[in-house]
Chain A
Amino acid sequence: MFANFQRWHQIDQHWVAHTLEVLLSTEKLNRRLLEAEVNAQSYGLTLEQPYLDAYQAAVQDLASTQGQLLQQVRDNPEQYDRLRRLEDLLVRSIITLDGQLLSLGAAEAYEMTAEELFLWLSQARDVLTLTRAQLQEFAALETRYLQERQARLQARYRWSQASLYLLTLVGLTAIAGAVVLFNRQDQELRSRSRQLEMANEQLWRFAANASHELRAPLAAVLSNAQVGLMLLQSPGVDAEAQAANYQQSQDCLVTVVATAKRMSRLVQDLLQLARSQGGTLTLTQTDIVALLQQWAEPGDPPVLLLTLPREPVWIKADAGLLKQALGNMIENAKRYARTRVEVRLTAAPLVIEIQDDGPGIDPKHLPYIFEPFYRVGSEGGFGLGLAIAKQVIEAHGGQVTVTSLFGQGTTFRVELPSSSPT
């Protein structure tokens, strides 16, 4: 592209220079013609040889300049023709001047009256005037060409300059864009890296917690089973000791059974967590109002208060998983509530709020309560319920947030994408 610009520019420059040369030659022609006329007249007036010499030099130069000019305008037929016609006029002018000069005798001039002299002098005027007019016309045309070509050169120059600016602008924009993109990518990389770090940290905590949560009941099962066996096999120093051993071994075995059941629930919860994380959902049109009404039965305190719309609220959901998730959150709220748990559903946007009037969650625990195995208190479950709830709700394209006022209660807010019934 730049090579093209350069070529066009060079061509334009060449034409401008060429036209200038033509104009110069035309001017030279004009001047020589004037010199020839003036010198011829001066000779006529004075009969002094230098004027005649100068006249002859001017005529000679006139001929060569005319030849040169013809060469220069060969590419422009119109101007060429004009110049050919001009050439005729010039020849006629020179012939007229020559004739004038030849007509002068050596002493004749001195004897001419002013009137005769004027007449003599004006003999060539007509043809010369015509020639000059033609010459001027030719020059005017060339001047127009020059202006056109200069204008074109300038236009092309401006255009190429504009193009250059445009290209520079495009380049700069591209650079700026690249910088912005690099920055964004860098930021994205950093944020990804941060997310990965956080995920990694979370995974590490999960692994450590899972290790503890799985090993602890396993340790209880193993030690109780072993000690139970040991007690049964121990001879016992007397009947009383044997009875005590028997009782203790029984206690140990009861613990084994209870712990194994607890472990079974833990394994079930862990599998649920894994399924909600990586499994596929079986989505069906589900009425969330009907789903929540399952908890509406009157029971022991804390009382569960449901505030639901009259109309069904539809959502594409895996009903089983969603019920489990909401159930986990409601059970969690009931565990901490003092007198009541309120469950509110609004249809648009689809929001479920589960609020308890319990002691609230210490702010230091809040960021972690959805992490697997994270337990705020020491009572009850494995700390998987809320983790499962969050996974399930996120798998449905929703999100769950928590706000808690220490001493005043906790509210879980579930936002889900709603869908119209099909």
Chain B
Amino acid sequence: MRLLLVEDDPTQRLPLQIALRQAGHMVDAVPDAETAEGLWLSKDYDLLIVDWMLPGWSGIELCRRYRQAGKGAPILMLTAKDTTADTVAGLDAGADDYLIKPVDVLELLARVRALGRRSPHWLGDCLTVGDLRLDLMTLTVHYRDQQVMLAWQEFRLMEMLMRQPQRVFGREYLEANLWEWGSEPESNALSRLVYRLRQRLSPLGCGEFIATVHGLGYRLNPSGLTDASAG
């Protein structure tokens, strides 16, 4: 999933970003609501994780503005406020879930998965194309009797390709959606990522499934899959 994390305290923001990233999510982590708004206007997110007490607009105000912008992705509020009145105010403003700090990271990841399952794009904890199976929980690719674990960015690329196996993904689109906010990809970064993914998959005998469409971008190789499933 592509997540937007809004938290002003870097000592809290960074570990959450790492944990979510390790769980296979793309995380745009920003320190304030104003920056967050700039991002959601240009990108689609599957989930927002928002601290209540932010400099400038509060998390509550962010929720209202996000909903007013016609965005429907679920919002998970993180806050040190712990009264029932606070919870009600947060949920009324448009939040879908509510976690009180200090947040147990494992619980946060479970909540994120739970909210992800409510997404219209949710297709289960596994994506399957032919004999190729991607476990979204463990970031592992299964092919026939073999399996290999992917690094989070490789996993993100694999997930995108497998969600829409017929689609050719342009380089720009991939660059925009595989690199988090604040980390600009170098010119050959995408090529290197694709190379790494192919290398990771080659022991399974499916390195060539990631096909280059010259002049356009990349796609999952249907012929390779057909061959593989046929074989």
| Residue ranges of A at the interface with B (Cβ–Cβ < 8 Å) | 208, 211-212, 215-224, 226-228, 230-231, 234-235, 237-238, 241, 248, 251-252, 255, 258-259, 378
Would you call B104 an interface residue if the criterion is a C-beta within 8 Å of the partner chain's C-beta atoms? yes
Query: Nearest Cβ in chain B — how far from A159, in angstroms?
Result: 72
| Residue ranges of B at the interface with A (Cβ–Cβ < 8 Å) | 9, 11-12, 14-16, 18-19, 22, 53, 55, 80-82, 100-106, 148-151, 154, 200
Known: A219-B103, A227-B18. 17 other contacts (CB 8 A): A211-B81, A215-B80, A215-B102, A216-B80, A222-B102, A222-B104, A223-B102, A223-B105, A226-B19, A227-B15, A227-B16, A230-B19, A231-B18, A237-B151, A237-B200, A248-B18, A255-B11
Quick check: B18 and A252 within 8 Å, CB to CB?
Answer: yes
Chain B residues positioned under 8 Å from A211 (CB to CB): 80-82
Chain A residues positioned under 8 Å from B100 (CB to CB): 215
Chain B residues positioned under 8 Å from A224 (CB to CB): 11, 14-15
Quick check: A235 and B9 within 8 Å, CB to CB?
Answer: no
Chain A residues positioned under 8 Å from B151 (CB to CB): 237-238, 241
Q: List 14 A-B contacts (CB under 8 A).
A: A208-B81, A215-B80, A216-B9, A218-B101, A219-B102, A223-B16, A223-B105, A224-B11, A226-B106, A227-B18, A227-B105, A231-B18, A252-B15, A259-B11
Please, how many angstroms separate the alpha-carbon atoms of A228 and B53 in the complex?
25
Quick check: A219 and B18 within 8 Å, CB to CB?
Answer: no
Query: Nearest Cβ in chain B — how far from A107, in angstroms?
Result: 136
Query: Nearest Cβ in chain B — how far from A1, in angstroms?
Result: 64
Interface centre among B11, B106, B148, B151 (most CB of A within 10 A): B11
Q: How many A-B contacts if CB must be within 8 Å? A: 81
Query: Nearest Cβ in chain A — how far from B85, in angstroms?
Result: 12
Chain A residues positioned under 8 Å from B19 (CB to CB): 223, 226-227, 230
Report, nearest first, the 10 A-B pairs whose CB atoms are least far apart.
A219-B102, A215-B80, A227-B15, A219-B101, A220-B11, A223-B15, A226-B105, A222-B102, A212-B80, A218-B102
Query: Nearest Cβ in chain B — how far from A244, in angstroms?
Result: 9
Please, how many angstroms separate the alpha-carbon atoms of A378 and B14 in the complex?
19
| Chain B contact surface mostly | mixed
Chain B residues positioned under 8 Å from A227 (CB to CB): 15-16, 18-19, 22, 105
Query: Nearest Cβ in chain A — how far from B43, in angstroms?
Result: 25
Chain A residues positioned under 8 Å from B80 (CB to CB): 211-212, 215-216, 219
Query: Nearest Cβ in chain A — how far from B103, in angstroms?
Result: 6
Chain B residues positioned under 8 Å from A241 (CB to CB): 151
Please, how many angstroms separate the alpha-carbon atoms of A186 and B9 in the complex?
48
Interface centre among A219, A234, A248 (most CB of B within 10 A): A219
Beyond A234-B22, A241-B151, A252-B15, is A216–B101 a contact (Cβ under 8 Å)? yes
Query: Nearest Cβ in chain B — how far from A137, in angstroms?
Result: 104
Please, how many angstroms separate the alpha-carbon atoms of A211 and B149 in the complex?
41
Quick check: B12 and A220 within 8 Å, CB to CB?
Answer: yes
Closest partner residue, chain B, to A208 (CB atom)? B81
Chain B residues positioned under 8 Å from A228 (CB to CB): 15
Interface centre among B53, B80, B81 (most CB of A within 10 A): B80
Please, how many angstroms separate the alpha-carbon atoms of A241 and B196 in the complex?
12
Closest partner residue, chain A, to B99 (CB atom)? A219
Chain B residues positioned under 8 Å from A230 (CB to CB): 19, 22, 105
Please, how many angstroms separate the alpha-carbon atoms of A230 and B16 in the complex?
12
Closest partner residue, chain B, to A240 (CB atom)? B151
Chain B residues positioned under 8 Å from A226 (CB to CB): 15, 19, 104-106
Query: Nearest Cβ in chain A — how far from B63, in angstroms?
Result: 19
Chain B residues positioned under 8 Å from A255 (CB to CB): 11, 14-15
Please, how many angstroms separate the alpha-carbon atoms of A248 and B15 in the complex?
9
Please, how many angstroms separate the alpha-carbon atoms of A223 and B5 in the complex?
14
Please, how many angstroms separate the alpha-carbon atoms of A356 and B149 in the complex?
60
Quick check: B200 and A222 within 8 Å, CB to CB?
Answer: no
Closest partner residue, chain B, to A378 (CB atom)? B55
Interface centre among B81, B104, B105 (most CB of A within 10 A): B105
Chain A residues positioned under 8 Å from B104 (CB to CB): 222, 226
Beyond A208-B81, A237-B149, A237-B151, is A215–B200 a contact (Cβ under 8 Å)? no
Beyond A222-B102, A248-B18, A252-B18, is A216–B12 a contact (Cβ under 8 Å)? yes
Closest partner residue, chain B, to A255 (CB atom)? B11
Query: Nearest Cβ in chain A — how far from B219, in angstroms?
Result: 23
Query: Nearest Cβ in chain B — how far from A258, in angstroms?
Result: 8
Chain B residues positioned under 8 Å from A235 (CB to CB): 149
Chain B residues positioned under 8 Å from A218 (CB to CB): 101-102
Please, how many angstroms separate the alpha-carbon atoms of A184 and B171 in the complex?
80
Closest partner residue, chain B, to A224 (CB atom)? B15
Chain A residues positioned under 8 Å from B11 (CB to CB): 217, 220, 224, 255, 258-259
Interface centre among A223, A237, A255 (most CB of B within 10 A): A223
Query: Nearest Cβ in chain A — how far from B35, in angstroms?
Result: 16
Chain A residues positioned under 8 Å from B12 (CB to CB): 216, 219-220, 223
Please, how many angstroms separate the alpha-carbon atoms of A226 and B186 in the complex?
31
Contact for B103 among A222, A238, A251, CB less than 8 A: A222
Query: Nearest Cβ in chain B — how far from A17, in angstroms?
Result: 85
Please, how many angstroms separate the alpha-carbon atoms of A241 and B103 in the complex?
26
Please, how many angstroms separate the alpha-carbon atoms of A237 and B104 in the complex?
25
Please, how many angstroms separate the alpha-carbon atoms of A219 and B102 in the complex?
4
Chain A residues positioned under 8 Å from B22 (CB to CB): 227, 230-231, 234
Chain B residues positioned under 8 Å from A378 (CB to CB): 55
Please, how many angstroms separate the alpha-carbon atoms of A211 and B53 in the complex?
12
Chain B residues positioned under 8 Å from A215 (CB to CB): 80, 100-102
Please, how many angstroms separate the alpha-carbon atoms of A215 and B52 in the complex?
13
Chain A residues positioned under 8 Å from B14 (CB to CB): 224, 251-252, 255
Please, how many angstroms separate the alpha-carbon atoms of A215 and B200 in the complex?
42
Please, how many angstroms separate the alpha-carbon atoms of A238 and B148 in the complex?
11
